[in-house]
Amino acid sequence: MKNKSFLITILASIAVMAVMFGFTNKAKSNGGILTMRTSEVMNGLWDNSITIVDEEGKVEKIELKKLKMGDLSQNLIIINENLNKIKSKGYKLILSAEGGSEGLIMTTYTFEKE
C-alpha cells in the first residue's frame, strides 16, 4: 500500500509540474508541445511501451520489449531512437520527470517546438 501511494504521489507531482511549467512557458512560446511517455514494467502487469502525443493531439504508441533482469538496456536503444526523431523534427526537451516502484519505470518527456 505504501508503494502505491508513493507512485500516486510521484505521478501527481509530475502532472502538477507539467501543468505549471506549461502555463508559465505558454506565453513565451510560439511552438507546440509534444509529450513522450515511456512505461517499462518488470512483472508484466502493464505493457512496455512508448506513447507520444504531438501538438495536434495525435497519439502514437510504440511497443517495447519485455525487460530482462540481465539486460535492462535493450529498450534504451528504441527510446533513444525516438528521442532523436523528435529532436530532428525541431523539438527541444524542456522537462523530463520519472517515477517508479516495484519494477515500474515511467518517464515523461515534454518537448517544445523551436
pLDDT in tens, the chain (114 residues): 555 555 555 655 576 555 555 544 444 446 799 999 999 988 767 789 999 999 999 999 999 988 877 777 889 999 999 999 999 999 999 999 998 877 788 999 999 998
> Distance (Å, rounded) from C-alpha 89 to C-alpha 19?
23
Domain boundaries, the chain: 2-113
Q: Which residues contact 74 (CB under 8 A, 6 or more apart)?
A: 65, 67, 68
pTM of the model: 0.70
The confidence score (pLDDT) of residue 110 equals: 98
- Beta 91-101 vs 33-41: how paired, if at all? unpaired
The closest of 20, 12, 67 to 39, measured between CA atoms, is 67
The closest of 95, 106, 98 to 35, measured between CA atoms, is 95
Q: 94 and 112 in contact (C-beta within 8 Å)?
A: yes
